[in-house]
Structures are given as structure tokens and as C-alpha cells.
Structure 1
């Protein structure tokens, strides 16, 4: 089992000082714990993964994107996506194109106990954009503003944040204007992914463009994109002028990474069993989804873990094709036996030597 990080001793990892965060009270008054945030990742940041990331010391983790229309209609999968992952700040991201659906969805998650609601105006996926949601909303800021206002109304007193891209393309870099409108409406903070929609995840994040958003508003701005190594954190904050950073794909197969960056990871992290971590995550997914669906949902995570442990491509492929949950569990024990978390993450080597 993965130990609860708040009860463990902390690694002596230098952190960056940031201004007090307006949502610090959601993190027990510790604004430093909000310097690093886990991004909402569709199909990834489900309840088991969020709970695991939180266990290492990350205080603010977002649910995967929840379609407002489906949630309002009572869709079971949508309710699973929006469910709380245990104690701590319960943050849910909503997506949609209709104001009434966003209003009702915000009311549903607020009544279910959400502490923070985020609006998705950054997803570049074709199926989302094709439905006029996600980053497609940046093509019509008047409509985007109506969705923001509706979400705020449905949320009642629950704080609402907004995640966006720089714009639809390089010729329409309208993130500063959207941020200004969001601030006037009552949004408490914005996250900006440093790419336009047409870039998807290619190229490099534009930190200066995020700085332009920061200069356009007085509310906190979080920078998102490309943080895959701990030493990038300070540079990203300096270049973007942001108040915090959001980690997305950098946490895939490395759920301790946000806490490592923030300096809240437990001191014994390098010595912990990697096999125990992976097996516990796998068991949690089977319990959350049921055995059949859980095995299917787990494959992407298991693939990342096995690759990080340098398991051979053939052995990885064989395990990921396995349809017996029991044989998968046995295979994990065999392939990952004796491996520690420090063995699979080079950034933990200094901590392991110091321990």
C-alpha cells in the first residue's frame, strides 16, 4: 500500500516561494501546497489515479473532464468521473457548449460536495472541438462568457476556475481577453496551456504568451505545459510570470512527480516498492470500475509503469494483452519484483543517496 504522505517525513526539497494563493484555505491554509497542481486529463485523472497522486502530498488534483450534458442526464460514467477521490479538495472540471447544461451540471457537482469547479476551454480533441466545446469556445468569446456566467450561477458559492489555451491559432491569440472577461464575471483563477488549439501538443509552450495573460488580469494565473523535469519549475514560473504550474502528462506513470516538484514528497519515497505502488493502483482500478472495465482502464497506466521500469517491449505487450486480471496481477509481481521507486526515476537518485 502507498503510505499517506501527510503522515510521513518530508524530503528536503527546496521549493519556490509564491504569493499567497486565494484558494489557500482549500489547502488547509498552506499556499505553498498549491504551487503545483495536477491537471485534468481525460481518461487518466480518475478517482484511483487522483487518490494515488494525492497520497504523495499533492493537495489540488482535478477530475478528468466531465461532459455537462451527460452529467445532467444522469450518465453513470460521468458520475464516476466527477466523484470525490477521498479527503481533501474536491475539484471537478466541466465541459460543454450549452449554458443551461453548464448551469445544471455546476449545481449537481456543487451539491455533491465539490470545493472547486473548473471550466474546460482548452481541450483540443476533435470530438470535443467538433461539438463546439473545449478550445472551440475561444472562437466565440461572447458565447464563452455566457457559459462562464451560467456555470458561476449554478455553482452558487463554490469557486470556479477556467482552463484555456492561448487561442484557436497564432492569428487569434485571445487568451488575455478571455481572461479579462472571466475575471469580470467572477472566475477566481485561470490556467493557460502555452499552446494554441491548432498546435495540439506539438512544438514548445509559449511562456511569454502566458505572461501576457498574467499582465492582463489581477487574478492568479497557472501555467500548463511541458513540465516533465523538476528543475523546469522555477524557469517556467520566471518566464511565464505565473503563480503556479499545472502538471499533466509528466505525471503519467509517475504519480509522485507533482509532489516531487512541489517539495512535498515523503522522504522515504525512493526506497518504497514500485511493485507495491503499481499493484495497489491496479487493485484500486478494479475495485472502482469492476474487474472487466477496470482491466481495460488500467492498461494505459500499466503500460507507462512497465516502460518506466524498462520492462522489455515483448513482455509489456504480452501483459497488456492479458485478459485475466489475476494473471495480470501475477505478472506485475514478477516483472517488478525488487524494484523501488528510486530505481525508476532518475530525479530521485540524490534523495536515495542522502537517505
Structure 2
């Protein structure tokens, strides 16, 4: 039986949200340097793909992690229960600390598979997915990340998930239809927290967390066990360093540029040095470009420097350009 870490975390704890093409090992290692959260998640990975002889070799690099990232949870998505059983066994064998099922993604490609937040329309299937994941997990804690509902807020959906006796539930406090276009419904967090605790489930709030202290305050006000942080990390990679006081780091231009160089080097180590956009590499270099604004901001000439980097076509070109900028 594996150790269930969720109940041992000091509250309120903080989690870095799983984000596609963002929270791979390269970025998580950077966050370990700038200020580590209490829990890391991988990017979400297709359960069907992992069960495919052709897909598994391409997807396994998404599950690479370092020991300094523990506790770390592997997130998977899909809608075929038997795949979740097989994936849970694989994730346990890979040495993860937990398994999370994505039942909140609103992306059309995911919804077409009946996965992500589409599962709120088939709660019986969602329950079967959870049951099969637990069956294959070999004692690993199983959690779910979801939204408030599909077209409208549906508290009964949350209650049904809690009825499956998962170890932890993260709720993005918006519906599928709302995406991120409206403020998160924090006014519902207290009610949902009560529901979760009545079922013995750890509950984590997600949506519009501006900074570390905002997260602490929301957890306290609404009785949440933890807070998951997503987009705010783009504004401040030092987000979690504020645990002991004001956020540290990030004010120095060269510090930010050096960190970006390290990020690109990590990218090369994990994914190789893919050539131009459109190549058949595991991960295209263009996915790195979304990070340039994270690091290069806040000083005169930052925009011009970003524009120069955006014109690069390989990781090596970007590293050379950064040397010129520095």
C-alpha cells in the first residue's frame, strides 16, 4: 500500500496546476529553483494514447520527473474506463505519488472524446473511470480536477464525484461555457468545501489567484485545504517563494535572462533540439516561445528583445540571442 501524501500536507498547501505544453519537467525544474509549491502535477496525458503501442513512446517523456519535484501527481484524461486501469498500473510503476483524472478540460478536441468536462454529462461513466483508476492504482491516492459544470453551475456534479470516494478534488470555479471569460465563482467555495469535508475528501480551489497571500486568504475564508495556481505563474515564476514573506527574485534583468537560458537548456535536455516549426519532433521549439514574456518583461527594451527571440527557429539560436541581449 502506497503512502497517501494528501492528508499529510500542511494547510493551506499550494499546487502548481497541470497545463498543456507548460508544466513539463523543464518548467517544473525551473519552479523548483524559484520557489517550489507543495505539490506538482504533470501535463495531462491521453489515457488512450498511453495504451497505444504507437502512442506510448511519444507520451512517456511527458511523465519524466526529478526526485526534487515530489510529491508529484500524474494527470491523465480520456473516457474509456479500461484504459484508466492500465494507465494507473503504469503510473504506479513509474513511481508517482498520485494519479489525477482530468474531468475539467474544456478544449474541443478533448470534449469530442467525451473526456474532460464532457464527463459531467455522463456521471455514471465518470464514476466508472474513477473506479477503474483506483483498481489499477496499487494504493496510490486518486484525485480529480474538474469545473463547476458544463453549460451551467451544477453542484450535483460535484456531489457525484465526491460519492466516488476520491482522495482529493480540485475545482476550477467556472463552468465549461464560461472558460476563463468571467470571474471565478469563489462565492460557492464555502458550500463546496463543506460538501467535500462531509465526504472526507481533500478540496482544492482554483481560479483567479492573484498572488500567494490571496491564495492563503481564500483558503482561510472558504475552508479549503489547498489552492491550485495556474495562469498566475506566468506573471511571476517566483510565485511560491512568497511562502516566508514577500516574493523574492525576479527584479533583476540578468537574473531573469539567466533563468530563461536555464529553461531553454532544460528543454534541450528533455526534448532534444528540434529544428524548425513543423518538424516531426516530440515537442516543437515553438512551444518554448510562450515563455519569453514570462522572463523578458519589466525593463526598457524588453519588448524589442522578445521580438528578436520570437524570430529564432531553434533552441541554439535562442541561447545565442540571449547572450547578445545580456
CA distance in 2 between partners of 1:266 and 1:82 (Å)? 29
- Show the counterpart of 1:79: 60
Encode CA deviations 1:120-141: one digit per residue, 9 max, x unaligned.
0011111111111000001111
CA contact (8 A) 2:273 2:314 kept: no
Does 2:156 match 1:174?
Answer: yes
- Show the counterpart of 2:32: 54
Encode CA deviations 1:136-159: one digit per residue, 9 max, x unaligned.
001111111010001111111111
Does 2:318 match 1:318?
Answer: no
CA distance in 1 between partners of 2:92 and 2:98 (Å)? 8
CA contact (8 A) 1:63 1:93 kept: yes
- Show the counterpart of 1:299: 289
Does 2:174 match 1:189?
Answer: no
- Show the counterpart of 2:268: 286
CA distance in 1 between partners of 2:138 and 2:314 (Å)? 46
Encode CA deviations 1:322-352: one digit per residue, 9 max, x unaligned.
12433311222343x3xxxxxxxxxxxxxxx
Report the secondary structure of 2:208's partner residue: coil
Report the secondary structure of 2:296's partner residue: helix
Once superposed, what is the RMSD of the aligned Cα atoms?
2.4
- Show the counterpart of 2:278: none
Does 2:126 match 1:165?
Answer: no
Does 2:217 match 1:217?
Answer: no
CA positional deviation for 1:24: 5.4
CA distance in 1 between partners of 2:144 and 2:322 (Å)? 39
CA positional deviation for 1:182: 2.7
CA positional deviation for 1:43: 1.1
CA contact (8 A) 2:5 2:71 kept: no
Encode CA deviations 1:22-74: one digit per residue, 9 max, x unaligned.
7257xxx6525x61110111111001111221232323110000100101214
TM-score scaled by length of structure 1? 0.79
Q: Which runs of 5+ in 2 are unaligned?
A: 275-282
Which of 65, 76, 79 lines up with 1:97 in the alignment?
79
* Number of residue pairs aligned between Structure 1 and Structure 2: 307
CA contact (8 A) 1:117 1:158 kept: yes
CA contact (8 A) 2:238 2:247 kept: no
- Show the counterpart of 2:277: none
Which of 28, 31, 34 lines up with 2:10 in the alignment?
31
Change (3 A) 1:122 1:204: same
Q: Which runs of 5+ in 1 are unaligned?
A: 1-21, 338-355
- Show the counterpart of 1:141: 123
CA contact (8 A) 2:6 2:168 kept: no
CA contact (8 A) 2:100 2:144 kept: yes
CA distance in 1 between partners of 2:249 and 2:183 (Å)? 34
